[in-house]
Amino acid sequence: MPRRKGLSPEEAELWARIAATASPLDRKARGPLAKPAPPPPAPPEPMPQQAAPRPQPGAVPAFRIGQSVQHPLRQTSTAPSPAASLSAQALRMDPKTHKRMTRGKLRPEARLDLHGLTLAEAHPRLIEFLISCHAAGLRLVLVITGKGRGDHGPLPTRPGALRHQVPFWLHTGPLSAVVQQATAAHHNHGGDGAYYVYLRRPRGAL
């Protein structure tokens, strides 16, 4: 049976009735279509940890509350010993005589023992002794100070105060006018606890 094209008059009338009762859809009343929610933002990538900068030499490090203080190593310099200070001074006497004196080959003509004296007591005693020895024409004398167990007195002093102070006295007034050379004594005469003092020749003496 061949297929019929179009609607029959009855079908057309029925379609017209249905179309008259139908109302078109209102897109505005339905509102706009809801947009899909945007995807959540991706979490930020962790920042790479940077190594702490090394402090520059001489820079003052930052200090935080609760942080322990770390002191840099300090370079400590030790002061030269009195014997080394005397040895570094210029030679002001005959080299041969000086060599024999430092080797203990010369016998001191007089000696002064400052053991048990305070600095205030020892200084005038040393001046009186050396001035009198110089006036008597003596050349080599021995001054004993001890090796540094400490000096007694009303004021506290460091151990070996006399051993450190006597070389200074020997090269300041009034003793610098009569002292020609001073050096640490040989161990036969006290070693580091004593000093050889070589006096100048008195004026007018041959």
pTM, entire model: 0.56
**What is the per-residue pLDDT for 72?**
46
**What is the per-residue pLDDT for 9?**
77
| Paired residues of 197 in beta bridges | 141, 182
Question: Of 91 and 47, which is predicted with more confidence?
Answer: 91
In 3-state terms the chain splits into helix, strand, coil percentages (rounded to 5) of 35, 10, 55
**What is the per-residue pLDDT for 43?**
65
Return mean pLDDT, the chain: 77
Query: Can you tell me whether residue 206 is helix, strand or coil?
Result: coil
Kindly state the tokens that stand for 30.
């339905």
- Report d(CA 52, CA 172) in Å as an integer: 56
Kindly state the tokens that stand for 206.
């041959």
- Report d(CA 184, CA 87) in Å as an integer: 8
**What is the per-residue pLDDT for 127?**
97
Q: Which of 60-64, 104-108, 136-140, 188-192 has the lowest mean pLDDT?
A: 60-64
**What is the per-residue pLDDT for 100?**
95
Q: Rounded to whole angstroms, what are the CA distances from 156 to 54, 125, 152, 166?
A: 46, 20, 8, 18
Q: Mean pLDDT throughout 164-176?
A: 92
Q: Mean pLDDT throughout 68-94?
A: 63
Asked whether residue 24 carries a pLDDT value surpassing 90, the answer given is no
Write down all domains in the chain, each with its CATH number in brackets. 94-199 (3.30.1370.110)
Reported as a pLDDT band with limits 50, 70 and 90, residue 110 is very high
Asked whether residue 134 carries a pLDDT value surpassing 70, the answer given is yes
**What is the per-residue pLDDT for 85?**
66
Q: Rounded to whole angstroms, what are the CA distances from 83 to 23, 51, 59, 196?
A: 125, 52, 39, 11
**What is the per-residue pLDDT for 96?**
95
